[in-house]
Amino acid sequence: MRLRIAYTKVEDARYIAHLDLTRVFERAVRRAGIAMSYTEGFNPRPKISFGFALAVGTEGEREYVDIDIQRELDLGEVLGRIQEQLPPGIRLLQGRALTQGVKPLMAVLNAASYRIRILMALPILPERLQEAVSLWLAREHVIYLRYTKKGPTEKDIRPWVKRMEGEIHGDEIIFELEVEMGNAGSVRPEEVLASLRELENLPLDLEELHVRRTGVHVNYQGENSSPFEQLDE
């Protein structure tokens, strides 16, 4: 029985790294008394696969995981038993049993939306904020210096950003971003805001920001749907 589960990863759970998250789910399923299916070969591993990893410290409002178990069980019972073994901040939202031939999450997910709260280093007028966002979006290229294990690399992050909006609330700005994702990579919200500050001279305090991924999507011809909706097509 193969399951697709939607879950949250918020509060203190946002500090769980992706590799550790895999272990968290494996342990929860095992402690729930549910036998997982394993790969074949000399080093069998539980059949569990996630969507695109969240950066440590970023909350996830609706993330997804596929889990294979050995027996056909009642879906509600399975979700309830697993939930009892998960740490605070990880809450199972929905589950579906998958049929044969359903593509894995990484093969269908290609977009994500984010909400970022960031403090202003100096007061910003609403019209100045809108001007800065419009100017950034009007750019054909936005070159960002990304530091990797191989050293600094210049990356054009503009093609990844499909939507950006900002609104002032008190002494902070709430940004809504929608970005493309894929095997070729993506862009982090922090990179977008860092380039917005640098290129458009917007006084943003990059040390004080809260990032939440509000969803990961299957985007087709500009329309977003969830990996659950894809199962009904």
Distance in angstroms (rounded) separating the CA atoms of residues 149 and 136 = 28
Residue 230 lies in a domain: no
Q: 90 with 40, same domain?
A: yes
Strands (E) across 51-160 are located at 59-68, 92-98, 111-120, 143-148, 151-156
pLDDT of residue 118: 97
pLDDT of residue 23: 95
pLDDT of residue 180: 95
Which residue among 108, 140, 155 closes a domain? Answer: 108
pLDDT of residue 232: 67
What is the separation, in whole angstroms, between the first and last Cα of the chain?
A: 20
Residue 216 lies in a domain: yes
Q: 123 with 89, same domain?
A: no
Which residue among 46, 80, 108 closes a domain? Answer: 108
Which residue among 93, 108, 123 closes a domain? Answer: 108
Query: What amino acid is encoded at 148 in this protein?
Result: T
Residue 159, domain extent = 111-225
Q: What SS3 class is residue 15? A: helix
pLDDT of residue 182: 85
Q: 211 with 160, same domain?
A: yes
CATH number for the domain spanning 149: value is 3.30.70.3190
Looking at the 3D structure of the chain, how many domains does it have?
Answer: 2
Residue 173 lies in a domain: yes
Enumerate residue ranges in the chain where pLDDT < 70.
230, 232-233
Q: 213 with 201, same domain?
A: yes
Q: How far is CA 63 from the centre of its chain?
A: 6
Distance in angstroms (rounded) separating the CA atoms of residues 134 and 154 = 23
pLDDT of residue 233: 59
Residue 214 lies in a domain: yes
